[in-house]
Amino acid sequence: MGIQLIGLSHAKHKLQRSLSARIANLLAMSSTINVPKGHVAVYVGETCQKKRFVIPISYLNHPLFQSLLNLAEEEFGFDHPMGGLTIPCTEDYFTVLAFILNSS
């Protein structure tokens, strides 16, 4: 009887590890599915409600975007609460900036 309980406990632990790995893979895939190659997802907003934008990687080298990245670094450091790159500005400001960067 004791051997069966040990085997059952071992099987339960193995199943939990397997399910945890599968769930982690699904979560990782779901966050990258909507981001095409050559783009990056950023979270924009000044409140706890942030909106997700997908932008071309080329924006990251633009001086206007660099100033936003510096602002994000000052506010969050490298610990971003959303799990991704978080930009602390209004959505309207970011939309206008994206329009300018897209036009140049």
Residue 68's H or E segment, with its range, is: helix 63-76
Please tell me the distance from the alpha carbon of residue 43 to that of residue 59, in angstroms, as a whole number: 14
pTM beyond 0.85: no
Please tell me the distance from the alpha carbon of residue 44 to that of residue 51, in angstroms, as a whole number: 5
| Cβ–Cβ under 8 Å, residues 91 and 42 | no
| Cβ–Cβ under 8 Å, residues 62 and 56 | no
Residue range 12-36, pLDDT digits in tens? 555 555 545 554 444 444 455 678 8
| Cβ–Cβ under 8 Å, residues 44 and 53 | yes
The one-character DSSP state at 89 is S
Higher pLDDT, 103 or 11: 103
